[in-house]
Amino acid sequence: MAVRPTRLWERWSRRQEDACPFGIVLRPSRDAVAMNPPFATRPYTPSYLPSGFSIEIATNTALTEPEFFYVGFQRGRPRDGQEPLRHQIPVTNITDVTIGTPSAAPRSEAARATAAMGWLSFEQSDDYVLRLTFDRAIRRKRADCRPELPVVLQW
C-alpha cells in the first residue's frame, strides 16, 4: 500500500489508546543553505508528486510522538501573496509551538533534533495538546479548542 510509510492507519486505529495525533511538517526557509532534514528519513513518493520529488518521513519515531515530515523541495511560503493577511484573530507570526504529551521527554532523533533547533518544545501533560503561540501572546488572549480539537491558541 502506497500510503503505509505515513503510518496514518496506525495513528488512527490507536487514537483512543496512546497514539499522538500530531504531524509536524518542516521545510527549508527561502534563504536556507542546507536543504536536508536535521534527522534521518525515508522517502515517501505519492503519485501526485512530480517524478524525482519526495516527502521525507522521519525514521524511528514512536507512535506516542508526533510524526515528522520534511518537504525539502518547498522553500519559503508555498502560497506567498495568495493568503489573506487580515484575520478575525489579528495575528501575524507563530512564535512558539509546544506539544504536550503524556509520555516522558521526546525520545526519537527527530523530536530531539527539532527541539534542539528551537523549532518546537515538548512538555508533559495529561493528554496530547498542541499549543500555538502567535506574536508572543502580547494580547494575552487564549482559545482552548478542547475537547473538539487538542489545540490551544494563544495570541
* Structural domain includes residue 83: no
Q: Is residue 25 part of a domain?
A: yes
In what order do the strands lie in the sheet containing 67-70?
23-26, 67-70, 55-58, 41-44
Range of the domain at 148: 4-76+89-154
Q: Domain count of the chain?
A: 1
- Per residue in 71-97, pLDDT (tens digit) is 988 766 666 667 776 778 888 899 999
Residue with cell 504531524: 23
Q: Using one digit for the tens of pLDDT, what is the confidence trace for 18-52?
A: 999 999 999 887 777 767 899 999 999 999 999 99
Asked, for residue 81, whether it belongs to a domain, the answer is no
**pTM, whole model, 2 decimals?**
0.86
Q: Look at residue 35 and tell me if it is in a domain.
A: yes
Cell of 112: 530531539
